[in-house]
Structure 1
């Protein structure tokens, strides 16, 4: 594992996953609370740059709604 969190769009990656709303504010809160290492049961900080990029690129394409009020959740998987 290289310490990165990846979006698991197809929900097929092996290993433990965590759910996240399609919302950058939710990602910021998860980072602030150190939720990813706890949910994924890993030690130390994880890099969420790929996940942040995915949310920025595909965030409001997922449901056609503005960011911040979406109910869609995304599974992420450490790699």
Structure 2
């Protein structure tokens, strides 16, 4: 979504919008329209800058991405550690 590169579904993180907040859905079980994103901070930053989340969820206005940023940041920290 952010970097627009193709990847297998299991390599991407599903994101849903719940009451104006972008929430990570790693199991893919939350209801609603989902968007897929690489679990990488650079890809997340591109998606936010391009305003891709409101378009993907077909919503008006700005969505809060703090919870998503925290989740992706934790995952990036786990994978970079030896």
Q: Same fold by TM-score, threshold 0.5 exceeded?
A: yes
For 2:76 and 2:69, locate their aligned partners in 1 and report how far apart those are by CA, in whole Å. Answer: 10
RMSD: 1.3
Gaps of 5+ in 1: 67-79
**What is the aligned partner in structure 2 of residue 13 from structure 1?**
30
Gaps of 5+ in 2: 1-17
- Structure-1-length-normalised TM-score: 0.73
Question: CA deviation digits over 1:37-56, x for unaligned, max 9?
Answer: 00011111000000000001
Instruction: Give the length in aligned residue pairs.
Output: 63
- The structure carrying a bigger helix percent of its residues is 2
Point out 4+ residue stretches in structure 1 off by more than 2 angstroms: none
Larger relative contact order, structure 1 or 2 (CA cutoff 8 Å, min sep 6): 1
- Structure-2-length-normalised TM-score: 0.71
